[in-house]
Structure 1
Amino acid sequence: MKKARLFGLQFYITLFIAGVVTTLAHELGHWAVGKLFGFEMSFRLNGVSTLSPVIPFSRAMFDLGGPAVTVLQGVVAYAVLKRTQSQLAFAFLYQAAFMRVVASLVSLYFLNDEARLSLYFGLPAWTLPALVSGLLVVLAWAGSKRIGTTWKDQLLCYLVASVTVAAVVGTDMVLFR
């Protein structure tokens, strides 16, 4: 007997929205830490920057703000998913994992938050990106197993998450550059 589709169109729309919210929450984490340290900040859809000089410790804390929010989102979403098998929780977990994996891959060209933190702590650049991405991917994999996603579900999630990243980055480039 053929397995029924787990997710419908409404889920994929929710997944897209979860991706946008995940990106904004991540950037808000950077912004909040920058404000906490008293810096004048610039906020965009896909980036936050300080408009004043930053010492290395403050820069490290600023870099930590975004990933900390994203990891917290992933852990909380997994905990909710584990208890409720919520598709909404899975959407936020999946997008947290996807975002950090993509950001880690971007580090091949421009060091991401976790890569800069690794260097700040005297570690090889790929240490924290691998740990953060790995943790979130393991949680997303466990969540996927828990709710019984199929390879087709995973493929569609990947495609929607990819479109989300392209939409956020593209919109940011059009509006702010």
Structure 2
Amino acid sequence: MVRRQRIGAGFYAQLFGLMVLTFVVHEAGHWAAGRALGYEAYFSLNSAGVRDPSIPVEHMIAVRAGGVVVTLLQALLGLALVLTRGSLAAYAVLFSAAFMRFMAAVMTMMQPNDEAAITLAMGWGRWSGHALVVAVLVGMTIWGARHLRIGWKANLLAWAVASVAVTAVVGLDMALQGGL
């Protein structure tokens, strides 16, 4: 185990930027999956997909899974760098992935997000996908925090910063789409 990490303003600024980048990379995963399947795809800060309304369910699942898989890979990379290098920046990468998918689960109460859309299409219910993905990501984040000896106060402030970043991304995306 490494010594307790001293976390300052630079970490939180980095976390904010990485939260925004997490959205971009996640949506790029959806876009890339749609393009790989041969569809005309769209991409914004907080949404991506294909324009074909008659997409087969298997392709919809693949497109939805594209973003989730990219986010899981992001978290694996972050955890690997936390464990091998003791990287605080990598912890921000890991935290961003977990926070984003947790918030996606929360938003599923209003409209099924990626994991819910996938598991609903597969007949597994609304929450099973979110439960699995969020449990894995939060577990990895706890592992990383313990390894770096990051305490609850730092994580609480990280939660607040991530919340502001998510709000900024969603608001900016709505403004760019003409929804504000």
Q: Shared fold by TM > 0.5?
A: yes
> d(CA) in 2 for partners of 1:151 and 1:5?
12
SS of aligned partner of 2:49: strand
> d(CA) in 2 for partners of 1:52 and 1:100?
25
**Which 4+ residue blocks in structure 1 deviate beyond 6 angstroms?**
none
Q: How does 1:7-86 map to 2 (within 5 A)?
A: 7-53=7-53, 54-86=55-87
CA contact (8 A) 2:49 2:63 kept: no
Residue segments in structure 2 that go unaligned for 5+ positions in a row? none
* 1:64 counterpart letter in structure 2: A
> d(CA) in 1 for partners of 2:5 and 2:144?
17
SS of aligned partner of 1:83: helix
TM-score (norm 1): 0.95
CA RMSD of aligned residues (A): 1.2
> d(CA) in 2 for partners of 1:171 and 1:82?
34
Matched residue, 1:109 = 110
Instruction: Report how many residues are paired.
Output: 174
Aligned-pair identity (%): 38
Matched residue, 1:162 = 163
User: Structure 1 residues 88-97 or 145-154, which shifts more?
Assistant: 145-154
SS of aligned partner of 1:49: strand
* 1:129 counterpart letter in structure 2: H
Matched residue, 2:129 = 128
> d(CA) in 1 for partners of 2:130 and 2:70?
15
User: Structure 1 residues 90-99 or 5-14, which shifts more?
Assistant: 5-14
CA displacement at 1:49 relative to structure 2: 2.8
CA contact (8 A) 1:6 1:153 kept: no
Residue segments in structure 1 that go unaligned for 5+ positions in a row? none
